[in-house]
Structures are given as C-alpha cells and as structure tokens.
Amino acid sequence: MFATVRFGANRQEFVNLLCRVHTLTGHLKKKCQCRPEDCIDLVDEKGTLMNLSKVENPASEYASKYLQGRQRYILIRVVREENSEATCYESLLEDLGKHYPDLPGLGHSTDQLQRLSGKIQKTDQRKNQRRSLHRTQSHTSIRARNRSTSHSRRNLELKNTPK
C-alpha cells in the first residue's frame, strides 16, 4: 500500500503506508530537509488535513490507519504559536497555487483546515465505533456457529451409535 507525497520544487516521494507514523514522518523530514524538531503533516489534494501531527502514539500507530493507498498528499509544516493556541500551516510544496489553484486553506485561511481536521476526527471516531461493533458482532456469530456445529455433531454421533 503506497501513496505519493509532494514537496519542494515539484518533487514527489512514494511512501509505504504499512509503517509507523513516526517512521513515515521521520523519513519525510529527511527527504525535505526539515529539522528533526519541525512538526509536519499531510494534506490531501482536496485540502483535508490528515492530522498525523496529532496522533497520540506515532511510534505504534500505522500510517495506513490515517492515509489511503494510491492517494497524493502535500507535505506541510505545522507551526504552533508559542503564546497562543493558534496553529498555522505552511506548504512545503513550492508554487502550491500553481499546482493546486483550487486548494482551500494553505496560505489563505487555516480556519478551513482546522474545521476539516475536526471533521476527520469525528469521522475516525465513527469508523472506530463501527469497527468495534463489527468485531463484536462477528465474534458473537462465530461463537454461535461453533456452538451449533458442535451441537449437530453430538446429534450425529447419537444417531450413529448402536442401540
């Protein structure tokens, strides 16, 4: 499962999403020559913030949980103001407006990216709830199926025993 990340002077990097978020962001920082202490993130071609910089445990979470394969992403720097809660996003792709003239957010209004990031978090919460519900349902159905199979085996054994 791979994705394309665009940055610099129209450079692109193919990245494997079956790795930890920490590994992916570290690799991208080296490729775009960011400082190790810089905070980076990705935006898809529609301007949706992927929120990799807010992953609680990037050393154990897989990037494939947050990113989709075969998609193109734009590398951004996340700049948090020291004395306020304001967050700014800076594109690391040169001439962003030339490549994506309709891209909302970057360089214009960070409010839209922040609203989009809030939507992503809510969507992720719903997905996680559906996944856990699906796991519970499938686990229950497997247990019920096993019970009915063992029950039918016993009935078959009883029928085949001589009287």
Q: Over the Cα atoms of the chain, what is R_g?
A: 24
Give the alpha-carbon dihedral of 73, 49, 51, 44, to 10 degrees.
-20
C-beta contacts of 91-99 below 8 A and 24+ residues apart: 92/7, 92/8, 92/32, 92/34, 92/40, 93/6, 93/7, 93/8, 93/10, 94/8, 94/9, 94/10, 95/10, 99/6, 99/10
> What whole-number distance in Å separates Cα of residue 44 and Cα of residue 70?
11
Residue of 104, 102, 101 lying closest to 48 (CA atoms): 104
- pLDDT given at position 76: 96
Kindly report which listed range (4-8, 69-73, 87-91) carries the lowest average pLDDT score.
Answer: 87-91
Tell me the pLDDT tens digit for each residue of 26-51: 999 999 999 999 999 999 999 999 99
> What whole-number distance in Å separates Cα of residue 34 and Cα of residue 46?
24
Tell me the pLDDT tens digit for each residue of 101-138: 888 656 543 444 444 444 444 444 554 555 555 544 54
Full-model pTM: 0.65
pLDDT for residue 158 is more than 50: yes
Cβ 15 vs Cβ 2: under 8 Å: yes
